[in-house]
Amino acid sequence: MAKGLRAGSVVALGLLLASPLAAQDISPVFDMGGLANAASMGAVINSERARAGQMGAPTMRGMPMPPPGRAFMRPAPAAAATVPMRYSAPPALRREVVSQFVDRVRRHSPENARLIQEQLAQHDYRRIYDGIVRPYGLAGDDAANALAAYLVLGWMIVHGGEEPPPGAVRGVRAQASVALSDSRLASAEMHARLGEEFKILFVTIHAGWQSARREGNLGRYAAGVADMFRNLDGIDLRAMQLGPAGFGRG
């Protein structure tokens, strides 16, 4: 995931799907350079915090969740890694999820909302997401895949771009499956809305990460990402270990 998306100073042409694992590369398609600074990252964090406050705690991206990050504090049953959580996301639902995301950012940073809206209008975030995560087995419209990808990316950013250990992605996917099996999240529509929002967050955060790398702001960006996960998802990625069974306490 570390090399999957590179942000250019000018939005470039199409998406190039490439070889497996971290060796894959995608041409510059998503210019999110503005998210590389702490103030801009804060706008996204605050937009998600606003949603969480509206929906009530505990939350995961503002959706009702079991007590904070509990599913990611212990290994999940091995069978959970293959439990299908596929969903259908028709265009109307995708447009609504994008609109709600942009509106939340706009409350805290109109400029970043404009930037995000422009990029999401010009480029297919779903295709970008799939191109990055396919080698990790997380592509497609599956809510547990999208949540696992989002969490593993956050961990990689916070831990200096370290690649997940062998088997770790499968372990996190199993934990995500358990989290999303909660009765408050089990509906097909909830899975679709969560899955699409995790994809948008994944692509946005990944693009900001690549911009931060280019601009020399990796430490500050990683701190902002760590704060977002800790404050909103109840997961302290700095303290979390990642192994074949997924996340565990350090």
- Domain that residue 232 falls in: 32-249
Residue 48 has a pLDDT of 55
Q: Is residue 8 part of a domain?
A: no
Higher pLDDT, residue 186 or 149: 149
pLDDT at position 177 over 70: yes
Residue 78 has a pLDDT of 76
Rounded Cα distance, 94 and 118, in Å: 15
Burial call 83-114: b when 16+ CB within 10 Å, e when fewer = bebebebeeeebeebbeebbebbbebbeebbe
- Mean of pLDDT values over 190-213: 89
Cβ distance 11 to 30 under 8 Å? yes
Residue 38 has a pLDDT of 42
Q: Is residue 95 part of a domain?
A: yes
Q: Is residue 25 part of a domain?
A: no
- At residue 250 the predicted structure's pLDDT band, cuts being 50, 70 and 90, is low
pLDDT at position 2 over 80: no
Amino acid identity, residue 139? Answer: A
- Mean of pLDDT values over 57-76: 56
Q: Is residue 245 part of a domain?
A: yes
| Average pLDDT score, the chain | 74
- At residue 184 the predicted structure's pLDDT band, cuts being 50, 70 and 90, is confident
| pTM exceeds 0.85, yes or no | no
Cβ distance 200 to 120 under 8 Å? yes
Q: Is residue 9 part of a domain?
A: no
For the record, the structure tokens of 229 come out as 């996960």
pLDDT at position 7 over 80: no
- At residue 16 the predicted structure's pLDDT band, cuts being 50, 70 and 90, is very low
Cβ distance 204 to 123 under 8 Å? no
Higher pLDDT, residue 183 or 177: 177
For the record, the structure tokens of 152 come out as 């593993």
- Give residue-wise pLDDT tens across range 208-219: 888 888 888 889
For the record, the structure tokens of 247 come out as 């996340």
pLDDT at position 79 over 70: yes
Q: Is residue 5 part of a domain?
A: no
Residue 153 has a pLDDT of 94
Q: What are phi and psi of 240, to 5 degrees?
A: -85, 135
Residue 139 has a pLDDT of 94
Q: Is residue 3 part of a domain?
A: no
> CA angle, corner 134, sides to 131 and 135, nearest 5?
115
Domain count, the chain: 1
How deeply is 9 buried, as exposed, middle or buried, from its count of CB atoms within 10 A (0-12, 13-18, 19+)? exposed
- At residue 77 the predicted structure's pLDDT band, cuts being 50, 70 and 90, is confident
Which of 11-20, 178-187, 207-216, 228-237 has the highest average model confidence (pLDDT)? 207-216
- Mean of pLDDT values over 28-48: 48
Higher pLDDT, residue 33 or 57: 33
Rounded Cα distance, 178 and 144, in Å: 9
Q: Is residue 26 part of a domain?
A: no
CB count within 10 Å of CB 128 equals: 22
